[in-house]
Structure 1
Amino acid sequence: MQAWYRTPTWLWLLLPFSLLFGLIAGVRRRLFRWGLKPVYRAPVPVVIVGNLSVGGNGKTPLVIWLVEWLRKQGFRPGVISRGYGGKSETYPLRLTGDTGPEQAGDEPVLIHRRCGCPVVVAPDRAAAARQLVTLGVDIIISDDGLQHYALARDIELVVVDGQRRFGNGYLLPMGPLREGLWRLGGVTAVVNNGGPAAPGEYLMTLASGELNAVGEGEGPCPSVGSQVHAMAGIGNPGRFFTTLTEQGFVLDRRLALADHKGVTPAALAEVQSRPLLMTEKDAVKWRGGHDDAWFLPVDAHLPGEFEQLLLTRLKELHHGH
């Protein structure tokens, strides 16, 4: 909701609902803390990659980075997710090579295809974690789930969009926050996607790879300086468009879609005149409709200080067990 980042005065009408939301969230949190609601603690460490605000902030690139980094440290990581945007007949759902985004959601499918690690989705992340443990993983990464207190966690990483930050700083529905900013004081680390990073935050940068054809990809790969159309169904589409222009592409038309949403045939009809560039997340749920479509993969890069923080915390967990 763009109003959260522009703070129009009419949002004050929603203040009573935000106060109610905060009260309910606080009571729920305490019920878990006091043991009045069950909490599942997995026999392996659990890393939460979440955010305070609704909408995408760049969690998926960090999850992929974590999977690859943990493998280098000798771990066998697996990923759990709610599977937003997908609908399965049964849960928990373990992803295979044939699992599509209509079943598991676009982000879990992207993670599974990129990493090849075990991925399990379920609205009940504790149930997903239980199944993941049976697959032989020795550390669990939860894609989102900071507020899913039914699952105990050992490391909490909060991703912040460096451009949008926390909007107006208010709770839903007056603002974009699921929990107050006080929550940042109790997490392991705050990862800033794209900067500028505030003191104490770890800057994550995204490096673009080579364009990949989506589907059959009949045309030649678009070159830098050529005119293209672009679309993005992510939390902050403007970030993708900026990346393309910084690389030298000339954007003729820009299709900014809602997070997790696919492009409609009517919108595709308007962008047939030039190559269509999209995010890897959009490519996962691509159903065709353009013969010259390409996606731009990105890889996360994080500072050595962040790696050292994780190593220290993992060693503490190992000695604790």
Structure 2
Amino acid sequence: MHAGLQQALLRAWTGRGALAWALRPVAFVYSSLVWLRRFAYRQHWLTSQRLPVPVVVVGNVLAGGAGKTPTVIGVVAHLQAQGWKVGIVSRGFGRRSDAVQAVHTDALPAEVGDEPLLLQRKTGVPVYVGRERAAAARALLDAHPQTQIIVCDDGMQHYALYRDVEICVFDSRGIGNGWLLPAGPLREHWPRRALHAAGQSGEQLLVLNTGPNTVPGFTAIRQLADHTVDASGHMQPLAALNAPGAKPLCAVAGIAQPEAFFAMLRAQGIVPTRTMALTDHYDFDSWSRNNHGHYSLICTEKDATKLWQHVPEARAVPLVQTAPADFYAALDRCLQPHRPAPLSS
């Protein structure tokens, strides 16, 4: 989607203005298709595949990013601390193929997707991608039979994969104007009606806000780290970007809400000379070093997986997201019936 159109829709979705009303007929068609698909699962004309291990789906009902990737990273770290052997599956949005494949540290984002690559590098657990998440999960379990739990990155509306727990992530937009796509930001109605045929239930649904608490649930704290990193892994303090004599700074962001990244930089005292808001999942293949050679480039970790192929000295700023302890306690309670029995001595 063109960046200008993307930003226009984001603005339209905050209220019920002329553009939102103009898109209501299309939203009605979309709503009908959503209802028909859910009805097909309720009637068991379409079926959900259940895995031999529990599945935690981290997703949202909003179009665009709401903080799923850092939530997945935090959930995986917590599950590992609780003794679980974790694997991750994802569709791998924007990659060249729909086939199932493993994600390795040195993989190309175009082959596996930028977010799955970031997840693999940040967590170190097995990550598999595939259009059909159940097929990706089975391939992961075949290759890593010790895996005890699968975390699915996105896929709340991917009913073909049966889930045991869901984590729905909201950002500062909340539910926007409350309308379905494209008149509003919602992929499905909220509050939703659980689709039990796919494993959904109100008791096994956790809501995590990554912005101001606009939807009843838990709220995470998000801020940028106090350091940056380049392609070689060299770290330096974030404040070094303001050092006397430093090159002017250009901040680039190819995420759903680029302005949020720029605002977080400013909150940390980093004021870029120039900002570039790009489309979500921007591939940087057309990026020209010559056009930006007199700037120091700074970006998100997701963008860095692609930008570093062209500008390895560009610096990424990690995002630190901290969910409250009671959120993880609630997750543990949801998973308690699925915990594997301890090995006998």
Q: Which among 95, 103, 121 is matched to residue 95 of structure 1?
A: 103
> Is 1:211–2:211 an aligned residue pair?
no
Q: 1:10 to 1:105 in 2, by over 3 A?
A: same
Q: Are the equivalent residues in 2 in contact too, given 1:265–1:289 (CA < 8 A)?
A: no
Matched residue, 1:43: 52
Matched residue, 1:168: 177
Matched residue, 2:319: 298
- Distance, in Å, in 2 between the alignment partners of 1:92 and 1:70 is 25
Q: State the Cα distance separating 1:109 from its structure 2 match.
A: 0.4
Classify the secondary structure of the residue corresponding to 2:111.
helix
Q: 1:198 to 1:53 in 2, by over 3 A?
A: closer
Q: Are the equivalent residues in 1 in contact too, given 2:230–2:312 (CA < 8 A)?
A: no
> Is 1:312–2:333 an aligned residue pair?
yes
- Distance, in Å, in 2 between the alignment partners of 1:127 and 1:291 is 35
- Distance, in Å, in 1 between the alignment partners of 2:79 and 2:287 is 43
Q: Which among 149, 152, 155 is matched to residue 159 of structure 2?
A: 149
Matched residue, 2:186: 177
Q: State the Cα distance separating 1:216 from its structure 2 match.
A: 9.0
Q: Which moved more, 1:227-236 or 1:263-272?
A: 263-272
Q: Are the equivalent residues in 1 in contact too, given 2:231–2:308 (CA < 8 A)?
A: no
Matched residue, 1:192: 209
Q: State the Cα distance separating 1:318 from its structure 2 match.
A: 3.7
> Is 1:251–2:259 an aligned residue pair?
no
- Distance, in Å, in 2 between the alignment partners of 1:156 and 1:216 is 34
Classify the secondary structure of the residue corresponding to 1:181.
coil
In structure 1, runs of 5+ residues without a counterpart are: none
Q: Are the equivalent residues in 1 in contact too, given 2:54–2:163 (CA < 8 A)?
A: yes
Matched residue, 1:33: 42
Matched residue, 2:79: 70
State the AA in 1 paired with 2:240. Answer: S
Q: Are the equivalent residues in 2 in contact too, given 1:53–1:166 (CA < 8 A)?
A: yes
- Distance, in Å, in 1 between the alignment partners of 2:28 and 2:137 is 32
Matched residue, 2:261: 240
- Distance, in Å, in 2 between the alignment partners of 1:49 and 1:220 is 32
Cα deviation per residue 1:104-154 (whole Å; 9 max; x = unaligned)?
100000001111111110111111122122222110011000000011101
Cα deviation per residue 1:73-125 (whole Å; 9 max; x = unaligned)?
0001101101101123x721111233211111000000011111111101111
> Is 1:116–2:133 an aligned residue pair?
no
Q: 1:167 to 1:32 in 2, by over 3 A?
A: same
Q: Which among 19, 29, 32 is matched to residue 23 of structure 1?
A: 32
- Distance, in Å, in 1 between the alignment partners of 2:160 and 2:28 is 23
Classify the secondary structure of the residue corresponding to 2:315.
strand
Q: 1:288 to 1:40 in 2, by over 3 A?
A: closer
Classify the secondary structure of the residue corresponding to 2:26.
helix
Cα deviation per residue 1:10-57 (whole Å; 9 max; x = unaligned)?
331221221121111111112112211121001111001001011111
- Distance, in Å, in 2 between the alignment partners of 1:224 and 1:248 is 10
State the AA in 2 paired with 1:126. Answer: A
- Distance, in Å, in 2 between the alignment partners of 1:97 and 1:291 is 16
- Distance, in Å, in 1 between the alignment partners of 2:82 and 2:327 is 14
Classify the secondary structure of the residue corresponding to 1:54.
coil
Q: Are the equivalent residues in 2 in contact too, given 1:50–1:144 (CA < 8 A)?
A: yes
TM-score (norm 2): 0.84
> Is 1:9–2:8 an aligned residue pair?
no
- Distance, in Å, in 1 between the alignment partners of 2:51 and 2:37 is 21
Q: Are the equivalent residues in 2 in contact too, given 1:78–1:118 (CA < 8 A)?
A: yes
Q: Are the equivalent residues in 2 in contact too, given 1:253–1:271 (CA < 8 A)?
A: no
Percent identical pairs in the alignment equals 37
Provide the aligned length of Structure 1 versus Structure 2: 316
- Distance, in Å, in 1 between the alignment partners of 2:176 and 2:207 is 16
- Distance, in Å, in 1 between the alignment partners of 2:229 and 2:73 is 18
